Structure 1
Amino acid sequence: MGFLPNSMLIMARKPGLVEAFAGLGLAVQGPSALPDEIKRMAAFMASRAAGCVYCQTHTHHQAANAGISADKLEALWDYETSDLFSEAERSALRVAQSAAQVPNAVTGADMSALKQHFSDEQIVDLVAVISLFGFLNRWNDTFATALEEEPSAHAAAHMAAHGWDAGKHAR
């Protein structure tokens, strides 16, 4: 990321937790059968569905830094109807959005759609990303983790038109 996230500084108060989480994060977000672009967009979509502004800000910023086009990031809000998304991407984003809700809203039809485009291994990778951010969404929203300057500036420039506001995560 180029900076130490405040979420990890809070977690570091319990060194065993931050070490275990870092290992899990590397396993989930590292190389896998699922394309990196889908993992990054799913992380954003899960965080958006969960309502965690801190994680929405970070995942959108990281997706931009990873080279996902500005047009595609702008269209994430309308992934179901935007021509910028394939049916495979739509199915993954739909599951990310539905799985992050409480109660979980993933349907059998959602899973069937995923299976048309992704292998079992890729589906496990997708659900792992969604689940990792489920933890982070709860962690950062509960602690009202303060946003760092760089992701906050990114969000103000690229997400405010969609209602983004730092809220309780403002510095």
Structure 2
Amino acid sequence: MPRIPAVAPQDASLLVKVGYKIAGRRFGVVPEPFTVLAHHPKLFLASARHELAVEKATRVVPSSLIQLAVYRTAWTVGCSWCVDFGAMLQRLDGLDVERLREIGDFETSDAFTDAERDVLRYADAMTSTPMTVTDDQVAALVRTYGDAGVVELTYQIALENQRARMNHALGIVDQGFSSGDSCRVPWAVEAIQEA
């Protein structure tokens, strides 16, 4: 249960109700972060617009790499909701979600390509505190994806840091979007149980 309760549809503003309906059709259920954000309808609308705009604008780096970087970021932060949702998105895109079980060992796992490892290292460098991104790391990514691609990748990783940190702070946990327990974040579950 989140630290701030969900806004029930009957208690939501008309705009939020419309958002719930659209999200429910798209994902089969209203994502819990939406129901918590609904306490602030203006931020709810701003977030929805932003997410849709980012989704439409992200076209330079292959979607599979963006999703993998976003997933790793959520996993690193410990947001079980984002990990669960990210696994579902990858499954719906026909990607191999079984390999996500090995995300903690991506450096040595045969489940990941060199290009994926580069992107995962970048996600780690951006997510660590303090950040550890290097000039060489960015230059190598620019050679592969161009300036626009690196900006896109960086934006998506930064956005996932925001989402994951917000959801984790508010106690929003996995909602059952993915199948099985392959997407559980062990330390996030332990932290919530201790709270």
Give the TM interval when normalised to the shorter protein: 0.7 to 0.9
1:24 counterpart residue number: 50
2:68–2:120 contact (8 Å) kept in structure 1? yes
Deviates more, 1:86-95 or 1:69-78: 69-78
2:79–2:173 contact (8 Å) kept in structure 1? no
Letter in 2 for 1:79: F
Asked whether 1:159 is paired with 2:183, we answer: yes
- Could you tell me how far 1:141 is from its partner in structure 2? 1.1
Q: Alignment partner of 1:118: what SS?
A: helix
Partners of 2:99 and 2:87 in 1: CA distance: 11
- Could you tell me how far 1:126 is from its partner in structure 2? 0.7
Alignment counterpart, residue 81 of structure 1, candidates 108, 115, 121: 108
1:115 counterpart residue number: 142
Partners of 1:112 and 1:155 in 2: CA distance: 38
2:102–2:109 contact (8 Å) kept in structure 1? yes
Residues 130, 155 of structure 1: CA spacing in aligned structure 2 closer, same or farther, 3 A cutoff? farther
Which 4+ runs in 1 deviate beyond 6 A? none
Q: What whole-Å deviation, never above 9, does each CA across 1:37-84 have from its counterpart, x for those lacking one?
A: 111111111112222222222212321222111343334333223334
1:3 counterpart residue number: 29
Q: What whole-Å deviation, never above 9, does each CA across 1:125-150 have from its counterpart, x for those lacking one?
A: 111111111111121111101432x2
- Could you tell me how far 1:34 is from its partner in structure 2? 1.5
Partners of 1:165 and 1:49 in 2: CA distance: 10
- Could you tell me how far 1:155 is from its partner in structure 2? 4.9
1:100 counterpart residue number: 127
2:60–2:145 contact (8 Å) kept in structure 1? no
How many corresponding residue pairs?
A: 165
Larger radius of gyration: 2
2:72–2:120 contact (8 Å) kept in structure 1? yes
RMSD: 2.3
Residues 107, 155 of structure 1: CA spacing in aligned structure 2 closer, same or farther, 3 A cutoff? farther
Partners of 1:98 and 1:155 in 2: CA distance: 29
Q: What whole-Å deviation, never above 9, does each CA across 1:80-130 have from its counterpart, x for those lacking one?
A: 233343322221111112101221121222212212311111111111111
Gap runs ≥5 in structure 1: none
Deviates more, 1:51-60 or 1:128-137: 51-60
- Could you tell me how far 1:165 is from its partner in structure 2? 6.2
Asked whether 1:12 is paired with 2:42, we answer: no
User: TM-score scaled by structure 1?
Assistant: 0.83
- Could you tell me how far 1:19 is from its partner in structure 2? 1.1
Q: Percent identity?
A: 25
Partners of 2:104 and 2:130 in 1: CA distance: 21
Partners of 2:80 and 2:117 in 1: CA distance: 22
Letter in 2 for 1:61: M
